[in-house]
Structure 1
Amino acid sequence: MVGRRRQGCGLRTWAVARLTGAATAAYGCAQCAPEVNAGHSLPGPTTMSVSRKSVFEVFRSHPSKAFRIAEIVNLSGAGKRERGEVREILQGLIREGRLVTAPGRRFALPAAAAVTAARSAKPRRSSKPAAAPAAAGRADRRLAPGMAIGRLSVHRRGFGFVRREVDGSTESAEGLPDVHVPHALLGEALHGDQVLIQVSRDADPKRPDGRVLSVVQRGLKQLVGRFHRLGRRGGLVVPRDQRLGRNVYVVAPPPADELPDGAWVTVRLVEYPAPPDDLIGEVIETLGDDQTPGIDILLVLRDYGIEQGFPAAVEEEVARLPAEVAAADLAGRNDLRGRMTFTIDGYDAKDFDDALSIERRDGGGFRLFVHIADVAHYVQPGAAVDAEALRRSTSIYPIDRVVPMLPEALSNNLCSLVPNKDRLTLTVEMELTKAGAVEDYRLYESAIQSQFRLNYRDVQSFYDGIDNPATARLKKIADDLNALLELKDILRTRRLKRGALDLDLPEIEIEFDETGMIENVVRAPRWESHQVIEECMILANEVVARHLRGAGAPLLYRVHDEPTREDIDRAGAMLAPYGIHLSSRSKKPVAAQIQEALGKAAGFDAPHIFNRLILRSLAQARYHPDNTGHFGLASPCYTHFTSPIRRYPDLLVHRALKEVLRKGKPARDWVAQWTQKLPSLGGHCSDLERRANDIETEATRICSLEFMRRRVGESFEGNVAGIVNHGLHVELRRYPVEGFLHVRDLHDDRYEFHEATMTLRGRRAGRVFRLGQRVEVIVHRVDVLTQEMDLRLALLEEQHPRRGGKLYQSRVRHAW
């Protein structure tokens, strides 16, 4: 039997090799997959009289038990003389991640090892019950030291990182660095799975390594891929997300007239065989082909499991809501419908969360009103619409569509502060001094009627003194708009003085023509009209956060941690060659150092490239019930209150504020209830915010590459945006799209990456590539599916080699 493949595997093996481009394919038929000898690789010759299957069957028959080697020899039917062969089989199963060692020189399945280790570990003193893995089978057992449970994120290059949620070596996994897992030690885990891992004892605590022991919970329930029919034997779906590394076999696909070859489909996974076998799934949705309008963005949404439609129970609830504000709902509210009020949003926005009113105070200063849609009035805890809003947690804006957190009847109508309609709001009324300090404030439930629906472009045109029909109608509120501009400057100056950071990182905008084709890719302008809204919302968020903290109400704060010493020094090392200094050993506060660094970067040819490097040294802002302050805003107490239509944390803050406004001091049972709930809610909302950002970034990247695909062969000027050992990331100047220039395509020399100077340097001629340096490149290849754009060097204003001990330069444009 040596060298022969199992009968029935040939057709799929050939198909996988053809569709994936693999030089060899060791995939077999799912129906004939052995339980132990997984992988369908050709069995090699062996002289062992005891089989891997018989050894592994010992553990399958007793999945919660750990065995000594003598017990395994006995139970597997091996003789004493075959003890060495059994030990060799056990070591092989450990290398594959199927078994692990347990205390007492025992061997066990990964889940059983966690329980065994926990039993033998000394009890730790703690006032908090420690969490235990679902795989262990009982909630009251702790993880052993060196083990952890977390969410696996797989990189496109095959390795993974696990963000720890529970760790056996500490009371809390919060703040612990992610654990790196090499590809060979991922076992059966897939991207997105919750896994039990073992952290290496010899690992660097700041950059730990580990291995996956078992899958606690599957994170991947469905995926998107391209369908290929395999004759009468079923079909194969090649996932769009290359991080999965495995294809999906479809046993009984729909007929060819319903599902053509090459179509994009959504697949529900039904079995997870051990690698390298294919996953097993069923087609649940045909999405279209490459020519289907909007297919690129639809694939992104489905790949993340996003559905735009709402469940029937939600639609039924919303249908019972009134079309307009009822007169009874106005009772007990401050009636501000007679006050001049307006909204300022994007020209295509429909969900208007916030509106403004302003007046100048006698003797100087301002009275500012920030009105926020009272979503909590309509979305009650326990309702189906609330459960769905929590599940979504945030609205998503992937270029050409919106996936709203709330149904449109609420988000675009009843809650949206549309003009000339009565709307229910929560108002923050603030008395501000000439210097922008909050002298007094009031928080209350209100009713407003917006008189103007303004957009950023028209307001900016008004500020720039442009006379056109759009700005002519703004003359009625000229005094209000000018007062807001003046207040913006005061608040912004005040905020920067206290240490807030101003990271100017322009967003990318995709412009479409009348037919829906992408017409242009541009950097979004950052206007003063944007800053007006930013400053007013930041101020309102701070006032609400301070008020609720003072009232003793539990809430989700928006927190942003100060960068660690390691993060600062890592960024400082990259920026030092360019004259930008950041150091954890400096006597200057970190915020002041970053402000100086941003100031120096502003004088460079491409300042946003250096701003991005600085940004990467900072932690991500998140939602948390403990107030640790917001480093980036230099705010000691901050929350999100101003966007309840599109962010669930804001809705929670509204509920807390209404509790305080109505009762003065929140009820004890209410405090206890929300104190218990908020930690998990904060993690959930932070995770889904990151997911939304990933979706929007990926959608923008796809549209940008779709636009650049029509420009293959054209040359563009760009700036070096990143340097790695195998090439250069280059951002085009005309279009803000990044591509990659591989060192293998720099034929004039052999180039080496110098980490200390963050340069790529030729060994022979000494040509140097630096961050921010201008280069002329040709768009060589664009692959929208893999989101890659390959570049070739067209023209470089080059550094000449050394001559006579001196460095001669010819028209070199440095980043500084």
Structure 2
Amino acid sequence: MAAVRWEARPAEGARVGADPAGSKTFVCYKADSSRRSNLSLPDGRGTGPGLFSRIIPRLWPLRRSGSPAPSLFRDRSFPRDVILAKFAIPPFLRKLLGPGCRATGAACPKQQLAFTERLRTPPHPYPSLSNQSMEKHLLKHLGHKNYTPATLSEIHEDLALLSQDQPALQRSLRNLERDGIILRIKGGRYLPTDSSRLVAGRLQLTKSGRGFLTPEDPALPEIAIAARETGTALPDDRVLVLIEELPKKRFWQRSAPEAATLSGSVVSIIERRRSRFVGSCHRNGKGIEVQPDDPRFPRGITILPGKNAPTPPKPGDKVVVELTRWVSRHSAPEGRIVEVLGAPSAEGIDMLGVLRQYDLQGEFPPAVIKEARRFGRHVQPADLTGRRDCRGQLVVTIDPDDARDFDDAICLEPAGANRWKLWVHIADVSHYVRPGSALDVEARRRGNSSYLVDRVIPMLPEELSNELCSLKPHVDRLTKCVEFLISSDGRVLSTDFYPAVIHSKKRFTYAEALAVLQGKPGDATTTMLHEASALAQAIRKRRFADGSLDLDFPETKIRLDDGGKVSRIDRHDNDISHQLIEEFMLLANEAVAGRLMKLKRPAIYRTHEAPDPDRLKSYREEVLGHSIPCGNLNKPEEVKRLLARLGDLAIGAALKIGFLRSLQRARYTADPVGHYGLAKKKYTHFTSPIRRYADLVVHRSLFANAKHVCGDPLHEVADHLSSTERNSADAERDSKDVKLHAYLLDQIRSGTPQRYEAQVTCLRDFGFSIDIAALGMSAMVPISLLVDDHYRHDSAAKQIAGRRGRRLIRLGDTLEVEIAKVDITRKMIDFRLAGTGEGASSGSPRATSRHRGGDRAPQSNHPAAPVAAAPTASEEDPTGRPRRRRRRRGGKAKAA
């Protein structure tokens, strides 16, 4: 319904029933505060729900458009007034509707409303309102079911207030906004904060500027936000979004909008994730501008005069800038330089920039260090009170070779025919880190440990993380134990939970454990490892039978030399040594979650929601496009069946990565929502309290029987921990990218770039994505760098084809690639097909090495069908010259 502001003109000499123009006369009145006009016939007949009654223009009796009598309606006509009005009905409508028609809704915007006289004037609805009464009536108006966001002047008209009441209305709106009861959104419109259209959550941004909101309410789907609607919000900010439905598919569109069922716009920033950014300093006409390293930041930050650091930066220096003011997305953000890091090429500046970018602090406050050292280096006799003595058990640990914080240990013994007793011992951090202590406050602030490529930023000081809490061999350590009675086929028969003390007998690395499992059993320790591995495989088989998804991919570990440069890149598969520990830890996490739910104690759970149906539908269409049978992916059993089918196909690994991209990210919640990927209704994190604060909270909930397991409400703590987890993951990824980019740039400078085997994972109009398992990264090959032919993306055939040589590049193909371009400053790289170009440069590439604002696609170890090599010059033409294209109609042929 179009909003039409009518011009009111007095009808001279008009009386009730007078109809000099021959048109019908109606009585009109404004019935409510929804700014809709209701019309009635003089004999009492109403408009009814007819076709034309739904297109009645809005009537504004209080708006005076001017002459000839602007004072006629001033403060004299209110929404409840009944006035006599005359509508000139167009002849075609009169003929169409007939003489007895209910034509009250048939008025068109060009008609004139003639005011004749006021038939009845009720008293002013709000003759004199105090501030309190004004706020009361204002809230009632804003809470009306038909209320739509309105400006100050529109609200003033809707409430039919006198002109002298406008200052009181402004004060009331300001007070309600200050108290968080209402919100002022774009266009100066007001909306109550409890509106169902307002959703709070964390914002994720992509490099293109588009955003996706993960609502705090797990029942709501992901919300898409256009780049122009993100306002001044930045990645991982906690924002308030005004949602609206996405437009439906139009008849000219091939498919409906995908990836989200709702769209919206950011109307308020509740909390900024960070206000400091690392970037490169440049001079512009006005002074200094800092371009943040994060490509998701939309524009450079202007440094106003007098806002520099004590040491002025040089052009090109890496600096830390603090965002101080950003009014609108259409204006430049302003900030001040708080630290000058130095030249980007200087040693250590790359990793220092990562630490500053993600606000990772290696040093602990003095009060935290003092509190940690107070416990000493050994378990005290008084600490053993109330604990079960398990120091006689054959307890061992299995961890990475460079680990120092040993969270978990295991022991396995036979318990009769086809039964086993399994002890899962977890470091008892809660014994030392008490709620509200300096250690607890700092651990909650950090949220988790961060494992960068060259260092660890621990959640707890080393006095605890690497010493007193770490389950090191040959020393007494305090634990929280989960004891299982398990059948040989992997069924859990009983569980028990208690505090204990252990004395670990041996520490294995994963490589050492794998060597033992690949050999023959020998002593008691190696025999136990073989028995534990067999039991873990039985548990694993049962887990997959229950619907758990097989989403394991190999991982890479970057090794650095003494100078901080990449010396080698190791590949780690999820072998049986990793699976042994993984299955036992998953079992403990599930058992603890079930126990907490049974006791109805407040706790933090690990949640992984089911993927959005629209995403699954889009992915299913992609799979069917490759002639691969695929059922309804909203059913977990169909997903499991598809993943098993993909494992036997050359294209399977690439499609499996596509499925991972359709999944939501796991997070922490205060409610047990369940874990989609693991197919578990009860799941939490319990097994790593040295490096995850969520596990520490769960320990307190399970054993302390305390109502307040941390200082803040659990849902706020869960949201905070989800945020710190994402922050650490981004920092770990960037630290790897920094070293890998420097490593690849050295290859370009050497003139002999190394060749890598890559698998095609996605096709685009501008190029194709590849997955390089040897580097543990994803990258782009732009079509502009395919110089051996003229290539074009054929979306219907799902391939990129060369026009002359007819070379085809399809999803899942295995290719040889080499580095082409590296931009250290912007953290962007491009690859090209091996042997297809010369003169690689370190200039600005076209695409990033990974998509910002989302998880990097895992690497694949599945083989893929090779692609035939591109035709050589001799194959194209015996003379070695390139063939010419066909003569164009009306023009000359051009050389290819």
Cα deviations by residue, 1:11-53 (Å, 9 ceiling, x for unpaired): xxxxxxxxxxxxxxxxxxxxxxxxxxxxxxxxxxxxxxxxxxx
For residue 571 of structure 1, the aligned residue among 615, 619, 636 is 619
8 Å Cα contact 1:345/1:455 also seen in 2:
yes
Cα deviations by residue, 1:445-488 (Å, 9 ceiling, x for unpaired): 1111112111101111112229xxxx9xx845112111111111
Q: What's the counterpart of residue 679 of structure 1?
A: 715
Amino acid at match of 2:636: A
Q: Please identify, of 415-424 and 626-635, the stretch whose mean Cα deviation from structure 2 is larger.
A: 626-635
For residue 479 of structure 1, the aligned residue among 527, 530, 535 is 527
For the pair 1:158 / 2:203, whether they are aligned, the reply is no
- Per-residue deviation, 1:655: 0.4
Cα distance between partner residues in 2 of 1:261 and 1:381: 47
For residue 243 of structure 1, the aligned residue among 296, 302, 312 is 296
For residue 752 of structure 1, the aligned residue among 782, 788, 793 is 793
Change in 2 beyond 3 A, CA 1:325/1:199: same
8 Å Cα contact 2:223/2:264 also seen in 1:
no
- Per-residue deviation, 1:411: 0.8
Cα distance between partner residues in 2 of 1:107 and 1:612: 55
- Per-residue deviation, 1:345: 0.3
Change in 2 beyond 3 A, CA 1:365/1:217: closer
Change in 2 beyond 3 A, CA 1:180/1:338: same
Cα distance between partner residues in 2 of 1:739 and 1:113: 54
For residue 364 of structure 2, the aligned residue among 299, 310, 318 is 310
- Per-residue deviation, 1:202: 6.2
- Per-residue deviation, 1:765: 7.0
Unaligned runs of 5+ in 1: 1-67, 72-99, 121-128, 166-171, 661-665, 801-816
For the pair 1:693 / 2:738, whether they are aligned, the reply is no
For residue 338 of structure 2, the aligned residue among 278, 284, 291 is 284
Cα distance between partner residues in 2 of 1:423 and 1:347: 21
Q: What's the counterpart of residue 787 of structure 1?
A: 827
Amino acid at match of 1:643: S
8 Å Cα contact 2:489/2:535 also seen in 1:
no
- Per-residue deviation, 1:731: 2.6
Q: What's the counterpart of residue 648 of structure 2?
A: 603
Give TM-score scaled by structure 2 length: 0.67
Cα distance between partner residues in 1 of 2:472 and 2:184: 48
* Aligned ranges 1:183-582 → 2 under 5 Å: 183=228, 185-200=229-244, 203=247, 206-228=260-282, 235-244=288-297, 245-249=299-303, 251-252=305-306, 259-272=313-326, 274=328, 277-465=331-519, 475=523, 477-582=525-630
Cα deviations by residue, 1:256-301 (Å, 9 ceiling, x for unpaired): 9775443322222333354555433333333333233343233223
Change in 2 beyond 3 A, CA 1:600/1:703: farther
Change in 2 beyond 3 A, CA 1:345/1:306: same
Amino acid at match of 2:868: E
8 Å Cα contact 2:697/2:710 also seen in 1:
no
Q: Please identify, of 638-647 and 698-707, the stretch whose mean Cα deviation from structure 2 is larger.
A: 698-707
Q: What's the counterpart of residue 591 of structure 1?
A: 636
Cα deviations by residue, 1:588-632 (Å, 9 ceiling, x for unpaired): x83332223222322344754332112223222222232232222
Q: What's the counterpart of residue 711 of structure 1?
A: 747
Cα distance between partner residues in 1 of 2:489 and 2:808: 50
8 Å Cα contact 2:261/2:614 also seen in 1:
no
Cα deviations by residue, 1:407-443 (Å, 9 ceiling, x for unpaired): 1111111111111221111111111112221222221
Cα distance between partner residues in 2 of 1:504 and 1:452: 28
8 Å Cα contact 1:582/1:593 also seen in 2:
yes
Cα distance between partner residues in 2 of 1:478 and 1:190: 52
Cα distance between partner residues in 2 of 1:69 and 1:226: 55
Q: SS state of the match for residue 600, structure 2?
A: coil
8 Å Cα contact 1:357/1:368 also seen in 2:
yes
8 Å Cα contact 1:228/1:235 also seen in 2:
yes
For residue 193 of structure 2, the aligned residue among 142, 149, 154 is 142
Q: What's the counterpart of residue 623 of structure 1?
A: 668
- Answer 1 or 2: which has greater helix percent: 1
Unaligned runs of 5+ in 2: 1-61, 66-148, 158-168, 249-256, 837-866, 872-896
Amino acid at match of 1:331: T
Change in 2 beyond 3 A, CA 1:154/1:119: same
8 Å Cα contact 1:768/1:799 also seen in 2:
no
Q: Please identify, of 477-486 and 761-770, the stretch whose mean Cα deviation from structure 2 is larger.
A: 761-770
**Larger CA Rg, structure 1 vs 2:** 2
Change in 2 beyond 3 A, CA 1:132/1:381: farther
For the pair 1:769 / 2:809, whether they are aligned, the reply is yes
8 Å Cα contact 2:221/2:612 also seen in 1:
no
Q: SS state of the match for residue 578, structure 1?
A: coil
8 Å Cα contact 2:244/2:262 also seen in 1:
yes
Say how many residue pairs are matched.
Answer: 666
Q: SS state of the match for residue 612, structure 1?
A: helix
Cα distance between partner residues in 2 of 1:578 and 1:148: 38
Amino acid at match of 1:295: I
Change in 2 beyond 3 A, CA 1:149/1:652: closer
Cα distance between partner residues in 1 of 2:172 and 2:355: 39
8 Å Cα contact 2:185/2:191 also seen in 1:
no
Q: SS state of the match for residue 335, structure 2?
A: strand
Cα deviations by residue, 1:63-117 (Å, 9 ceiling, x for unpaired): xxxxx9999xxxxxxxxxxxxxxxxxxxxxxxxxxxx953874799xxx999979
* Aligned ranges 1:74-85 → 2 under 5 Å: none
Q: Please identify, of 711-720 and 272-281, the stretch whose mean Cα deviation from structure 2 is larger.
A: 272-281
For the pair 1:739 / 2:750, whether they are aligned, the reply is no
- Per-residue deviation, 1:522: 3.9
Q: SS state of the match for residue 738, structure 1?
A: strand
For residue 633 of structure 1, the aligned residue among 664, 678, 692 is 678
Q: SS state of the match for residue 677, structure 2?
A: coil
Cα deviations by residue, 1:635-675 (Å, 9 ceiling, x for unpaired): 23111111111111111110011135xxxxx7xxx28x889
Amino acid at match of 2:469: C
Q: What's the counterpart of residue 177 of structure 1?
A: 222
Aligned residues with identical type, % of pairs: 32
Amino acid at match of 1:681: V
Cα deviations by residue, 1:166-206 (Å, 9 ceiling, x for unpaired): xxxxxx574232231233x4444444444454445664694
Cα distance between partner residues in 1 of 2:444 and 2:309: 38
Change in 2 beyond 3 A, CA 1:538/1:752: same
8 Å Cα contact 1:308/1:404 also seen in 2:
yes
8 Å Cα contact 1:738/1:789 also seen in 2:
no
Cα distance between partner residues in 1 of 2:245 and 2:490: 54
8 Å Cα contact 1:555/1:656 also seen in 2:
yes
Cα distance between partner residues in 2 of 1:145 and 1:388: 36
Q: What's the counterpart of residue 10 of structure 1?
A: none
